[in-house]
């Protein structure tokens, strides 16, 4: 906030080195996202995509050893997780956890209050309307994510985004576990928020399919904890054709493999 201009980055990650305590997975990651932009972050298994998600969310067992992350111009890493959410960062994890004993409605009310939203933002009417759009009404009366299928958990994450709103949504493999209809439903809601609310999105995926429904303005390829190539939407389609191996090679091949 602090009077920054619209064209300033919403999120600015610079020279980030981080990982689960004692293990460096991200090794110099740079990324800038401006308001209303949709960035696709693609990379093979183990390249560090979810590590970035966890560091952005503020998971306490992850350590940042170098670099910075600014959000709305402020030092994101200095803020506790709830404060990050309150300032407009929404994170959907690759593996949403179940919270036995906590009713979904109660959880939503707490989340809304934590973000400083009025209780009406999660009252019955908007909740049912959003749940119907996501075909999720059956799960509203269960404890958070308990006994939900993988796809239902992903719809559930999207439902929270819809109701709570955000400036930036980080969606870590929101497409995994979703069937074709699910991908379409979730993508339609996210795309609508981009158009209507100027939501910025970081879509983390290794499949190009969801990008057909949430068209990215930017695409990045993450290999071994660094972005090795960035481009527009066409880069995602090139990846689908050539795979990730070619990108490993453009990065210096042997020297990198041997960690020289």
- Interface residues with ligand ADP (CB under 6 A) are 20, 23, 25, 43, 45-51
Beta carbon nearer to ligand ADP, 67 or 88? 67
Contact 98, 148 (CB under 8 A): yes
Contact 211, 242 (CB under 8 A): no
Residue 182: its H or E element: helix 180-197
Contact 42, 219 (CB under 8 A): yes
> Which residue has its beta carbon closest to Mg ion?
50
176 in contact with Mg ion (CB under 5 A) = no
Please tell me whether residue 103 adopts helix, strand or coil conformation.
Answer: strand
CA distances from 11 to 77, 80, 248 (A): 12, 17, 26
Q: In the sheet that 168-172 helps form, which strands lie side by side, from edge to edge?
A: 89-92, 168-172, 200-205, 38-42, 218-223, 226-231
Beta carbon nearer to Mg ion, 49 or 84? 49
- Smallest gap, in angstroms, from Cβ of residue 45 to Mg ion? 7
Beta carbon nearer to Mg ion, 54 or 248? 54
From the list Mg ion, ligand ADP, none, pick the one residue 47 interacts with, judged by a Cβ distance below 5 to 8 Å according to partner type.
Answer: ligand ADP
Beta carbon nearer to Mg ion, 175 or 185? 175
- Smallest gap, in angstroms, from Cβ of residue 252 to Mg ion? 24
Dihedral of CA atoms 178, 183, 188, 191 in degrees, nearest 10, equals 100
- Smallest gap, in angstroms, from Cβ of residue 49 to Mg ion? 5
Q: One symbol per residue from 64 to 103: x for binding Mg ion (CB under 5 A), - otherwise; what is it?
A: ------------------------------x---------
| Count of residues in contact with Mg ion, rule CB under 5 A | 3
Beta carbon nearer to Mg ion, 18 or 162? 18
Beta carbon nearer to ligand ADP, 107 or 244? 244
Angle at 206 between CA 201 and CA 210, to 5 degrees: 55
DSSP 91: E
Alpha helices per DSSP H over 3-138: 49-57, 81-86, 104-114, 124-133
From the list Mg ion, ligand ADP, none, pick the one residue 123 interacts with, judged by a Cβ distance below 5 to 8 Å according to partner type.
Answer: none
Q: One symbol per residue from 29 to 68: x for binding Mg ion (CB under 5 A), - otherwise; what is it?
A: --------------------xx------------------
């Amino acid at each position: 906030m602090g009077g920054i201009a619209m064209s300033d980055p919403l999120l600015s990650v610079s020279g980030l080195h981080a990982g689960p305590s004692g293990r460096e997975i991200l090794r110099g990651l740079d990324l800038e996202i401006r308001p209303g932009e949709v960035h696709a972050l693609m990379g093979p298994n183990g390249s560090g995509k979810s590590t970035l998600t966890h560091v952005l969310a503020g998971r306490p067992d992850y350590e940042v050893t170098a670099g910075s992350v600014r959000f709305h111009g402020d030092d994101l890493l200095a803020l506790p997780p709830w404060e990050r959410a309150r300032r407009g960062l929404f994170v959907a994890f690759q593996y949403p956890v179940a919270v036995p004993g906590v009713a979904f409605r109660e959880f939503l009310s707490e989340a809304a209050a934590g973000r400083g939203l009025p209780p009406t933002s999660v009252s019955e009417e908007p909740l049912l309307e959003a749940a119907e759009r996501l075909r999720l009404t059956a799960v509203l009366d269960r404890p958070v994510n308990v006994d939900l299928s993988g796809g239902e958990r992903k719809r559930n994450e999207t439902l929270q985004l819809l109701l709570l709103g955000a400036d930036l949504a980080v969606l870590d493999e929101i497409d995994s576990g979703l069937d074709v209809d699910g991908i379409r439903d979730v993508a339609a809601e996210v795309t609508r928020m981009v158009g209507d609310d100027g939501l910025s999105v970081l879509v983390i995926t290794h499949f190009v399919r969801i990008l057909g429904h949430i068209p990215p303005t930017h695409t990045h390829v993450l290999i071994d904890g660094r972005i090795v190539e960035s481009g527009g939407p066409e880069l995602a389609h090139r990846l689908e054709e050539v795979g990730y191996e070619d990108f490993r090679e453009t990065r210096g091949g042997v020297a990198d493999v041997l960690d020289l």
